[in-house]
Homo-oligomer: A and B are copies of this chain.
Amino acid sequence: MSIRVGIVGYGNLGRGVELALRMNPDMELAAFFTRRAPETLKTLSPAVPVHHVDTLPDFKDQLDVLILCGGSATDLPVQTPACGKLFNVVDSFDTHAKIPEHFANCDESAKAGGKVTLISAGWDPGLFSLQRLMGQCILPNGSDYTFWGKGISQGHGDAVRRVPGVKDAKQYTIPVPQALERVRSGENPQLTTREKHTRECFVVAEEGADLARIENDIKTMPNYFADYDTTVHFVSQEELIRDHSGMPHGGFVVRSGVTGAEGETKQMIEYSLKLGSNPEFTASVLVCCARAVCRMNQEGQSGAKTIFDVPPAYLSAKSGEELRKNLL
Identify the A interface with B (CB < 8 A): 16, 19-20, 23-24, 44, 96, 99-100, 103, 120, 125, 127, 129-130, 132-134, 136-141, 184, 259-261, 265-277, 280-281, 283-285, 288, 291, 306-313, 315-316, 320-321, 323-325, 327-328
Contacts and interface: CB of A to CB of B under 8 A. Distances in A.
Contacts of A272: 269-271
Q: Give the 7 A-B residue pairs with the shortest CB-CB distance, closest first.
A: A308-B313, A265-B276, A259-B280, A137-B315, A137-B288, A268-B274, A266-B276
A129 B312 CA distance: 11
B308 A328 contact: yes
B328 A99 contact: yes
A312 to B, nearest CB: 5
B288 A259 contact: no
Given A103-B324, A133-B312, A141 B280 contact: no
Given A137-B312, A266-B276, 7 more contacts: A23-B141, A133-B312, A134-B315, A259-B284, A268-B273, A269-B272, A310-B311
Contacts of A288: 137-138
How many subunits of this chain does the assembly comprise?
Answer: 2
A313 B265 contact: no
B20 A261 contact: no
Contacts of A19: 259-261
Contacts of A321: 100
A284 to B, nearest CB: 5
B328 A120 contact: yes
B313 A311 contact: no
A324 B139 CA distance: 19
B96 A328 contact: yes
Contact of A140 (B24, B120, B325): B24
Name which of A23, A136, A137, A271 has the most chain B CB atoms within 10 A of its CB: A137
A256 to B, nearest CB: 9
12 contacts: A100-B325, A127-B134, A133-B313, A133-B316, A134-B315, A136-B316, A265-B277, A267-B277, A269-B271, A269-B273, A270-B274, A308-B312
Contacts of A23: 140-141, 259
